[in-house]
């Protein structure tokens, strides 16, 4: 079943408001999809335990994943991309997100926008940034 953009936004919004901190882990660079103590980033909050793979850590969600691995990507392009050192992690992240219901390029773009908020802004800036995304994407801000 495909997730609508509103469903993606609502789930991530509620997660970020509740968690109110970045998913950082000592000894690791940058935000993580999930940490040993249970924190999850914006995108990681959508990934169920049975679909999580450590190889996705360090990979960015976003429209570029759709371009690399989506149904419209040419076999020649996928083959060329498959040779990159990050290909396995990118493909694992694409497959995971596609399998949870993010099945269009715009959905991947929305995930990238939400990931940027979590990864690059302090939690005090999240409400306004999420409101900006809601306005830009014509989405409703969910009730807590």
How far apart, in Å, are the Cα atoms of 9 and each of 4, 108, 113, 130?
A: 9, 12, 10, 9
CA atoms within 13 A of residue 55's CA, in its CB half-sphere = 13
Dihedral angle of Cα 91, 94, 99, 103, to the nearest 10 degrees: -140
Most distant CA pair in the chain, distance: 46
Which string of DSSP letters, residue by residue, matches 67-136? HHHSTTS-HHHHHHHHTSTTHHHHHHHHHHHHHTT--SHHHHHHHHHHHHHHHHS-GGGHHHHHHHHHHH
**How many CB atoms are located within 10 Å of the residue 86 CB?**
14
In the chain (144 residues long), the average pLDDT of successive 10-residue segments reads 94 97 90 95 95 90 86 73 78 92 94 96 97 98 85
Q: What is the pLDDT of residue 68?
A: 81
Q: Read off the pTM.
A: 0.89
């Amino acid at each position: 079943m495909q997730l609508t953009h509103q469903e993606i936004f609502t789930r991530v919004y509620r997660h970020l408001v509740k968690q109110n901190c970045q998913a950082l882990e000592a000894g690791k660079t940058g935000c993580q999809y999930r940490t040993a103590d249970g924190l999850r980033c914006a995108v990681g909050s959508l990934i169920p335990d049975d679909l999580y793979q450590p190889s996705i850590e360090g990979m960015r969600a976003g429209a570029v994943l759709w371009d690399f691995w989506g149904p419209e990507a040419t076999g020649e392009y996928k083959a060329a991309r498959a040779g990159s050192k990050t290909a396995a992690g990118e493909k694992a992240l694409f497959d995971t997100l596609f399998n949870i219901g993010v099945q269009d390029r715009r959905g991947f773009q929305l995930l990238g926008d939400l990931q940027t908020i979590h990864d690059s802004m302090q939690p005090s800036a999240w409400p306004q940034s999420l409101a900006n995304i809601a306005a830009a994407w014509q989405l409703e801000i969910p009730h807590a």
